[in-house]
Amino acid sequence: MDKKDNILIINGSPRRNKNCGKIIENITKKFDENNIKYEVVNIYKMNIDYCTACGYCERTGKCVIKDDMTPLYTDFDNSKGTIVVSPMFFQSISTKVKTLVDRTQVFYSSKYILKKPSIDTKKERRGMFIAVGGQPKYENQFLGGQLVMDLFFKCINTKLIDNIYMSNSDEVSYDENKEFQVELNKAIDNYIKEIKSI
């Protein structure tokens, strides 16, 4: 199947059929209704090793590690956008999402150190970050994850257009949280509009 211009939906949760999975089901349903091409990337089922800061990408613009992250570099380049859905772990994104983010150092090195981007920097792409926190809402609850995501979307040359946060999921699940569902649906509709405009 041709992956060009897909929206990559990164499932950053290790748990099946829970809040993040339900959110992704809602997104894919709306994408199907609007003929938006997408791929759900279940990274907890993938072999993605940790960045070791070896410096190889700073010299070559490529990653020395060959694993399931390798084809994702091409997928990011070919994509029309990326949506990351992640639970919050210790006020940040999940471990596997952070591992994926760290491995995009390849793009950073090629663009800013070697001045030879390994991703098309002229192509327009759109991004969205959706985070699920277990605790009741409090100030700066999602800030740790947001700071990482800001840098991630810059690395993959994708304009981050929305951040959606769901708090108190330990007490109120996605299925029960009607207020969040309304907010999410508005954000997805806006995202679809953005995608169709590019």
What pTM, to 2 d.p., does this model score? 0.94
7-196: CATH superfamily: Flavodoxin domain (3.40.50.360)
Left, alpha or beta for 158 (phi > 0: left; psi -120 to 50: alpha)? Answer: beta
Q: If pLDDT is split at 50, 70 and 90, which confidence band does 175 have?
A: very high
Q: Where are the alpha helices (DSSP H) in the chain?
A: 19-33, 56-60, 70-78, 95-103, 105-108, 143-155, 178-196
Model pLDDT for residues 71-113, shown as the tens digit of each residue:
999 999 999 999 999 999 888 899 999 999 999 999 999 999 9
Does pLDDT of 1 surpass 80? no
The domains of the chain are located at 7-196
Q: pLDDT per residue over 112-161, tens digit each?
A: 999 999 999 999 999 999 999 989 899 999 999 999 999 999 999 999 99
Rounded to 5°, angle at Cα 151 from 146 and 128 = 55
Residue 81 to residue 76: CA distance in whole angstroms: 8
